Amino acid sequence: MVKAVRYPVGNSSGTNKLRFAGNTGIDIMQFRFGFLLLAGAVLAALLPSAARAEWPTYRHDLQRTGVAPEPLPQGLKETWRFTAKHAPEPAWPGPARRDGWHKSDPLKPRMIFDWAFHITESGGKLYFGSSADDKLYCLDAATGEERWSFFAEGPIRLAPTLYQGKAYFGADDGYVYCLNAETGEEIWRHKAAPEDYRLPGNARIMSIYPVRTGVLVDNDIAYFCGGIFTFEGAYVCAVDANTGKALWKKKLRDSAQGYMLASADKLYVARGRVNPIVLQRADGAFLYAHDGAGGSFTVLVDDYLFYGPGKTGQIEAARSDRNDNLVTFQGNQIVVNQGRAFMQTDTEMSALDRTRYLKLAEEKNVLSDEHDQLKEKLKELKKAEAPTDAQKAEIDTLVARMEELSRAMLPYDKQMQECLQWKVPCKYPYSLIMAGEQLFCGGMDGVAAIQAADGATAWEAPVDGRALELAISNQSLFVSTDKGIIHCFSATAK
């Protein structure tokens, strides 16, 4: 049953205000940003709606950047809200309250892929799957009214991918579905599971091979994984996106939970609590697993993979061609846009010159790697009870070089600290995306826009529940909360 409420234009329940940073004195820099914003908004408003950017897959693109291609207009007001019949039923509960052994708390949830309905949008229609009533929903993006729904045989936990008029999604029933995005009619379904074995799992009867990676579609190929138990086998599959016919299927030694990402030649697979793995895109061959503190949030930007939130809120950054992590940021989520990275912790938002920061980190790592290698070599040499003169000389050389490396590394910490552009208190810790020069972030019962230039809060509005998922499309901001409510904020009534 649809419970959509359409608000008349200008009748917002939010504290909708777009302001330039610093009401009591606008400096030149801020004014310039404000002008750019305004110009962007005007430009966006002038664009024909057909040309407006979409949000066709989770966090907009196959790299899950969370960056919309165009800014949102000013004056966002709530234009409708959709209240699902049932709130989401997440697969997994939260973490323990405390790591008693390490005396560490609070711990972060690392299996956070389905705590709210995840939204995608294309062609003026908004889509999400429900973990509660097993339906894929299609709403009118302008009004929030339900257009159609489709039943799977198990919870749908991740967002559908919209591609060439079709909606692709997986479910806990072990199937991947392809529907006509306009009508909801089934085009094909593909069983990821080698057998139809269902059991009580996460308080439902479900397949032992659930599809919990979403479906990544690119170049007419749909990629997904089925199965979460390594002892039962999990599979990575590629099928023809038009027919559902299998192209290849590879058995994994890993549990696949969370969205997949893609680069030109690789697939990145989130693994719930642990770190992502990397597969060869051509055939699914396993390449390597990343190091780090784990988590199912992943973003791929240029040559770097960012993932977290780790044990207590850390985002790891790793070169996408290496398994070891390069650097660790404090944060729950991250948005990387061109040369900047924006980090969101429980209490703060910050901006970093990420190009310079990662360059410095790489340089430091080169020195650090050499230092570590020499240290190991030194340890071996020192095992000799009666070292030869040659060994003694080598030890001296190693020690000298290690001291040299240590000295060389010293300036880096300071230089890396200088990459911090701004840091501001922020009460919106749950979700983070970006459009134009604004960051949009979700918190408890609210959502806000933050100026990317200086961290100033530009706009705030209330929502019902924890704003866990955000999407920007069709000149609107969509906010999905843990209560199963989707809010639409637009500049004008649709």
Single out the residue of 187, 171, 174, 182 nearest to residue 240, CA to CA. Answer: 187
By beta-carbon proximity to another protein, the closer residue of 40 and 292 is 292
Tokens 């719930």 locate to 272
Least separation in angstroms between CB 410 and another protein: 23
Least separation in angstroms between CB 253 and another protein: 8
Strand partners, 217: 222
Burial (0-12, 13-18, 19+ Cβ within 10 Å), 374: middle
Least separation in angstroms between CB 461 and another protein: 21
By beta-carbon proximity to another protein, the closer residue of 290 and 354 is 290
By beta-carbon proximity to another protein, the closer residue of 45 and 96 is 96
The total of other beta-carbon atoms located within 10 Å of residue 10's CB is 10
| Paired sense of beta strands 333-337 and 125-129, if any | unpaired
Single out the residue of 114, 161, 470, 63 nearest to residue 296, CA to CA. Answer: 114
CA distance 120 to 330: 28
Single out the residue of 171, 213, 203, 176 nearest to residue 92, CA to CA. Answer: 203
Least separation in angstroms between CB 179 and another protein: 14
By beta-carbon proximity to another protein, the closer residue of 132 and 247 is 132
- Four-CA torsion 297, 490, 125, 178, nearest 10 degrees: 0
Residue 434 in contact with residue 442, Cβ under 8 Å?
A: no
Least separation in angstroms between CB 226 and another protein: 15
Single out the residue of 267, 318, 363, 224 nearest to residue 63, CA to CA. Answer: 267
By beta-carbon proximity to another protein, the closer residue of 99 and 240 is 99
Tokens of 118: 């995840």
By beta-carbon proximity to another protein, the closer residue of 199 and 386 is 199
CA atoms in the 13 A half-sphere facing the CB of 107: 21
Least separation in angstroms between CB 204 and another protein: 7
Least separation in angstroms between CB 184 and another protein: 12
Residue 424 in contact with residue 456, Cβ under 8 Å?
A: yes
List phi, psi (to 5°) of 205: -90, 120
Burial (0-12, 13-18, 19+ Cβ within 10 Å), 395: middle
Tokens 């704003």 locate to 467
Least separation in angstroms between CB 120 and another protein: 21
By beta-carbon proximity to another protein, the closer residue of 293 and 450 is 293
Residue 467 in contact with residue 489, Cβ under 8 Å?
A: no
Least separation in angstroms between CB 259 and another protein: 15
By beta-carbon proximity to another protein, the closer residue of 311 and 494 is 311
Please state, in angstroms and as integers, the Cα–Cα distance from residue 70 to each residue in 272, 476, 477, following that order: 31, 11, 12
CA distance 183 to 449: 34
By beta-carbon proximity to another protein, the closer residue of 108 and 281 is 108
CA distance 181 to 163: 9
Strand partners, 441: 432, 448
By beta-carbon proximity to another protein, the closer residue of 129 and 160 is 129
Least separation in angstroms between CB 186 and another protein: 10
Per-residue burial over 414-423, b if 16 or more Cβ lie within 10 Å, else e, is eebeebebbe
Can you give the binding site for another protein, defined by CB under 8 A? 1, 85-86, 89, 92-105, 107, 111, 130, 132-135, 151, 153-155, 196-205, 208, 228-232, 254-255, 257, 271-275, 292-294, 311
By beta-carbon proximity to another protein, the closer residue of 138 and 351 is 138
Least separation in angstroms between CB 472 and another protein: 27
